[in-house]
């Protein structure tokens, strides 16, 4: 049986006026000076993380994580 995990990547202008990207459910995040840079950074982080997950047999405790940053949590709740 194939288990599909939906990945949500979000990029937004943070309270400190920088751009921020995060990914749910992996709890990956990055900061950048531009929106495009944040998009590229979070996409790269997701790709690297998923490669590592595959190498380790996709352990559930590394896939289903809670967002640790409060501002990310707020944006995620507002958007969904």
pLDDT digits (tens, 9 = 90+) for 62-80: 988 999 999 999 999 987 5
1 pLDDT more than 70? no
Cβ pair 7, 46 in contact under 8 A: yes
Cβ pair 67, 23 in contact under 8 A: no
Better-scored residue on pLDDT, 58 or 32: 32
26 pLDDT more than 80? yes
What is the model's pTM?
Answer: 0.87
| Segment 52-61, tens digit of pLDDT | 999 999 898 8
30 pLDDT more than 90? yes
């Amino acid at each position: 049986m194939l288990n599909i995990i939906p990945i949500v990547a979000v990029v937004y202008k943070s309270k400190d006026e920088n751009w921020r990207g995060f990914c749910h459910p992996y709890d990956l995040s990055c900061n950048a000076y531009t929106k495009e840079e944040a998009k590229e950074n979070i996409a790269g982080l997701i790709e690297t993380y998923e490669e590592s997950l595959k190498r380790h047999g996709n352990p559930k405790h590394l896939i289903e994580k809670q967002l640790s940053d409060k501002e990310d949590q707020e944006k995620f709740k507002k958007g969904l």
